[in-house]
Structure 1
Amino acid sequence: MLKNKHSLPVLIIGQGLAGTILAHTLDQAGVPFYLVDAPKTFFTSSYAAGGIFNPVTGRKLEKSWLVDELFSYLFPFYTALEKTLSSSFFHPMPLFRPYANEEMKSWLLERKEGIDNEYLRWTDEGVWVEKAGWLDVDSLLRCSKSYFQTKNIYQEIAIHPATDLKISGDVVSFQKQTYACVIFCEGYHAQQNNPFFGHLNFLPAKGELMKISSLEPSQEYILNKNGFLLPLGNHEFKVGATYRWDDFSNQPSISAQLDLRNKLKSLGLNSYEEIEMSTGVRPATQDRRPLVGFHPHLPLAIFNGFGSKGVSLSPYFAHQWLAEWKAEGQINSEASIRRFYHLFST
């Protein structure tokens, strides 16, 4: 297997956010690869992502999981990638969380001393979160697609893993090319369509966003209160997001539209024009941890399950995936699919 790792390329299936970040990580490391992606009629979540990265989570303002490691890697990774792609898509921006009411303000202030305040700045009106921001995922994916096409390492085609991939020993063949490993980055589609990893603990969640234009809100920061208001420039904003676990269609719903209008009302925004709705299904998991690693018996791997935190999680875990592939380290045990090896038949 180690010999093949050094002499054969790897095949990445899926050019959503996860697959794109992994591909760039391999590209930077000089690892040969080929990337395939299904036509855009094959519904994906990445093009509808809010793209927010935020170092704190929940009403208790707790640090997000592995935030120090993630954010020390996140900023230089995306900054360097902008230079590689000669584009701008990484937008650090403060995030403001106004107190919901006086009761919540008192509740938080009573706990302030017990909270890790590294990323927080407290005011009378609310709490500012530093080192937050957003990634223009749509722009990143489009620029990356052009970059990979220019290098002749990209193809748009729908793959059916059970029939299109031929596994022989420690290699895989596809379209007369032999690969050392196939890496599945299919998002929530893996649960339905992947015979090798579909039995893992996926818990996909549909989300809907609204794009609006308005002269009222500030364009200098992200507003977060029972939802988010994300400035895109030119007085346009994304409003989000909704969660559903019983509908994975790619059609916007009236209920989500009403929900987002209510979020705008709670954010204090009254004058705006609705531009469009967008939908996506987050590749979330039951234990809220990614699915990263290698099949215990076959030359296959997975890079998936990042949920709504793909912008911050993907660069760090792409680095970890590569380190394990090169036998130079191991994937964090909470994210590694080793935690599910007991589910794989021998």
Structure 2
Amino acid sequence: MPINKHSLPVLIVGQGLAGTILAHTLDQANMAFNMVDAPKTYFTSSYAAGGIFNPVTGRKLEKSWLVDELFSYLFPFYRTLEKALDISFFHPMPLFRPFANEEMKGWLLDRKEAIHNEYLRWEEEGVWIENAGWLDVECLLKCSKQYFQSKNLIKEIAINPSIDLTISVDEVHFQGQAYACVVFCEGFHAQKHNPFFGHLNFLPAKGELMKIKSVEPSQEYILNKNGFLLPLGNDGFKVGATYRWDDFSNQPSLSATLDLRNKLTSLGVNSYEEVEMSTGVRPATQDRRPLVGFHPQLPLAIFNGFGSKGVSLSPYFAQQWLAEWKGEGQINSEASIRRFYHLFST
């Protein structure tokens, strides 16, 4: 990418979690940008996100990918952002994983010495995971939108990239304004609607959450056992989540409702009031790595593909995106779309 156009702003397409985090990163770096976000009727996953960040993954209790780098950046980023927006949405909280059964308990204890995971604290009934917690994504997005509106940086527009953008080698024109780069943060919609990046390895996954009211579970920690139970305060909880790869509608399904009720039973919650269901489609990828970087020929970029780990991945990779844009570094090779440059026509 040429880096001699920094006198022009960047245009960010999409104000979901990824676009919002990237916008704040540019804002903190005093980089000029504008945003466009489709109307609310345009289905997005961010408002239905669980928002959990967890340094440990899988039944083997292994460290998540790049966890040390991600989490050393994640905590100060969100705390700084809370101060800037003058609101609380970042909630560090321990996470407890009960042993599923005696067989799994024995299997894990046999491996305990080989795990060497500093985020774990073992107890008789299960494992505590430190440095976990949750982000109130809906609160962050709404407050951020107000912030961007107050600075006249965002418009509610659904862009058709093929029609609405005039693209040359060095810049992009949109509604009479020249931009140094357009970065697409469209979530799973990119697979169908983006002619420049839609051919990348998206593997969207629909997920559904249930909000409940109950006095039974603890409000002090996240419970994770074949699903999660996330305390929201005032006896409110999120229960999740489901995965489906054959239905991307925005309508809750009966099968997901039944699945979440079964999860509540397995989590030991029997008395509760169902409040609402939320539906979203995660912008996941086939190799479970983000899609971050720049088009090999055009002044276009992508910041997408974070799946269910957007809360922990996006702050770190927004900084990497910015560093590469400024010519001061390169995006991690496992996340960079350079791994797909062979798919772009020359």
- Please state which band the TM-score falls in when normalised by the shorter chain: over 0.9
Does the CA-based 8 Å contact 2:96-2:221 persist in structure 1?
yes
Q: How does 1:88-127 map to 2 (within 5 A)?
A: 88-127=88-127
Q: What is the Cα deviation at residue 313 of structure 1?
A: 0.1
C-alpha distance in 2 between matches for 1:160 and 1:341? 23
> What is the TM-score of this pair, normalised by structure 2?
0.99
Deviation of 1:3 after TM superposition, in Å, equals 2.1
Give the AA of the match of 2:300. Answer: L
**Sequence identity of aligned pairs in percent?**
83
Give the 5 Å matches for 1:164-313.
164-313=164-313
Q: What code does the residue aligned with 2:32 have?
A: P
Tell me which amino acid in the other structure corresponds to 1:52. Answer: I
- Runs of 4+, deviation exceeding 2 Å: none
Code of the residue aligned with 1:91 in structure 2: it is H
Deviation at 1:161, TM superposition (A): 0.3
Instruction: Tell me if 1:4 matches 2:5.
Output: yes
Q: Distance in 2 between matches of 1:280 and 1:134?
A: 17
CA displacement at 1:168 relative to structure 2: 1.9
Gaps of 5+ in 2: none
Contact 1:63 1:116 in 2 (8 A): no
Could you say what secondary structure the match of 2:187 adopts?
A: coil
Contact persistence 2:168–2:298 (CA under 8 A): no
Q: Does structure 2 conserve the Cα–Cα contact (< 8 Å) formed by 1:207 and 1:243?
A: yes
1:16-35 aligned at under 5 Å gives the runs 16-35=16-35
Offset of residue 116 of structure 1: 2.3
Q: What SS does the aligned partner of 1:2 have?
A: coil
CA deviations on 1:19-47 (whole Å, 9 max, x unpaired) are 00000000000000001100010000000
SS at match of 2:4: helix
The TM-score, its normalising length taken from structure 1, stands at: 0.99
2:58 pairs with 1:55: no
- Aligned AA (1:296): P
The residue identity in structure 2 corresponding to 1:117 is: N
* Alignment-derived partner of residue 74 in structure 2: 74
Q: Which runs of 5+ in 1 are unaligned?
A: none
State the secondary structure of the residue aligned to 1:3.
Answer: coil
Residues of 1 paired with 2:11 and 2:104: CA distance? Answer: 50
Secondary structure, counterpart of 2:318 in structure 1: helix
RMSD: 0.4
Residues in 2 aligned to 1:116 and 1:42: alpha-carbon distance in whole angstroms = 44
